[in-house]
Structure 1
């Protein structure tokens, strides 16, 4: 990943998002040729010279202080996740000993973590920063698989979302889910620009999915904590959850996801029915996998 280009494009996209009125910048009724703020306006708001900000947006201000970075973040009205992302981008271009790109070793879920996941009575998963599901309990498997089969782990949620033609029907709000997935991946790329597997995933999706390319160009970032999850399950129909995410502090880049739902609701009834159908010993397969019988036909 070209980190200087990432800085340029991220700052430009954030400038375009802030109107002069939002920033308190007078326009005097003149015709503006660019959306949002001009570079010189950001420089003025941040208290730096125009030349310095221009170099900053080109990723050349490698000695930038935390105070200046905070001032630029305030000028662009960045939220906490965007501020962290900008710091990560500049950290990546900071002079440092040469580091070779790294391919991470396969992440192994500790037995105690798997025991915790299995003990949870609502859908639960362990996910890494590449948005791969590495572990799931019975209801977790049943939600994303056919209801009688297990997921093949690791299960790549971005590949499922963007490359499986059934997902627009499966996700209650596919567009929102897609935006969130891309924003989560971009934030992960800022934290780990030397993760070769993550870069390969982004490259694959950019090549194979026009929707992914369009969303990737927005440069939005997100840190998932909680949110509404809506699905149209092929076996039990419409279900909805509130997803919660908890970092596993002793396990790098891993998070525990749980999907909660209200008692005495259609979702609870659907999950009870799905759990009764699910056979943990069934041959592992994923909802997104191409089936041999389909290819034969």
Structure 2
């Protein structure tokens, strides 16, 4: 009986030892899975939500690669169904960090994420991408392409996003990124064309009418002096009589500030300890 108890004791010790060894071996594996890799692990287009067909994916990926290599800044698009319990900002930041996005020592880049489960979108920036895509710049940017995403025109929306990234990175390379007071001009809406034509016709009518009026040799006079024969009227007495004066006053309103924006980008720290800029919402 005593021998059996000793064997059970030794067996428990062996089991405990093996458990500890496995636990120690698993800890480094978990930590290494959460480290930032030295190079990009995934392509610049990850369509896990399957929103694009094969030809659309190929065309878009080639454009993203071309822009990224030209400006040495990763431009990436990621679509997923679920955020797996994370906020849009957390998911986008972690996806960028732990999949090795970003070019150069500062890991310069921008990533556009959409999640189909609750129709979330988020743009995260890193490195020089934070300066190239300011808060005001991103707000102006999303006005240009997000409506296509809302209308399920995903290929058109993603390509517009890529084209805007090209434009913004080109501007940032000049040392003057788009920001408050320095935003790109919006394209002229189609309905201004007939309005401009109408205004032009009105101006032309007024000018022609004025020229026509100058051609008349006889016109009605509005002053009485025009109908008096020269040297036939002599004024013998002339006086100026002061009757009254009227002065009106009003308070000049003081200028007030609506707050506005200070420019630049607000930043946050991701789970990896990296600094990110960005913004998001619903589509």
Higher relative contact order (CA 8 A, sep 6+): 2
TM-score by length of 1: 0.21
Q: Which has the greater radius of gyration?
A: 2
Query: TM-score, normalized by length of structure 2?
Result: 0.22
